Copies of this chain bind each other. A is one copy, B any other.
Amino acid sequence: MLRLSGQQAKARARVSETILKFRKGEIIYAQGDPATDWFEVVSGTVRTCHLYPDGHRQLTGFFYANDVFGIESKSYRSSAEAVSAVRLRRYGCGLGRPETPKSLGVLHNALNNAQACISLLGRRTATERVAAFLLATSGRLGGRNSIHLPMSRSDIADHLGLTIHTVSRTLSELSRRGLIALDGPQSITLCMPSALRLLAEGGEEYTSHPVQAPNCLAEPVLSYGVQP
């Protein structure tokens, strides 16, 4: 989702050649700022964060190369921050003037992103959410079984409405069951994507074979995609 075709991306590049750069952790725009522009990720990863008055944080999306973000009506409902070093292309909405029909696709993408977020938060248990997140992330990062998570446990937790402890525990549990393999905190291999899919869908009954060694025979991941 939020992925532009090469053609679209090229067309947009003509409009604005400026490449903005942000370092890890830098803020791209703040919650509440007037929503004058939207962005396309050239490289790196971006998160959008909504802060509640009590200080707690809800991440409303992660955006990778060729994704777009920052499409909002009046003011930004979430801030945007660089998860890793990031290069961006900026597009002005030109507040006053009517947007071109081109933007329709972009709006649809933003809508899909929001619905993907709802899809994660709509699941009930930690295992379901984490499994769905892993599948969605794998799908977005090209459908490979081996994925590099650019974001911290804290980011994942705030995206899924869990704590870092629960996320960490759940990942360990999935690893113990042999469904995934952890090569360091950021590098995860989906050993049994279809079993993960069962978990994500609430099929907790998958008791698996008792912790067989992480053989990981590359069961293909069906690109859990964000479009249903």
Contacts and interface: CB of A to CB of B under 8 A. Distances in A.
Interface of A: 32, 50, 52-56, 58, 60, 71-75, 77, 98-101, 103-104, 107-108, 110-112, 114-115, 117-119, 121-124, 161, 201-203, 227-228
Q: How often does this chain occur in the complex, in copies?
A: 2
Nearest to A78: B115
Q: Pick from A52, A101, A112 the residue with the most CB of B within 10 Å.
A: A52
A50 B99 contact: no
B202 A53 contact: yes
A58 B122 contact: yes
Given A104-B107, A110-B111, A123 B52 contact: yes
Nearest to A158: B122
Contact of A122 (B75, B119, B121): B121
A161 B202 CA distance: 15
Contacts of A73: 108, 111-112, 227
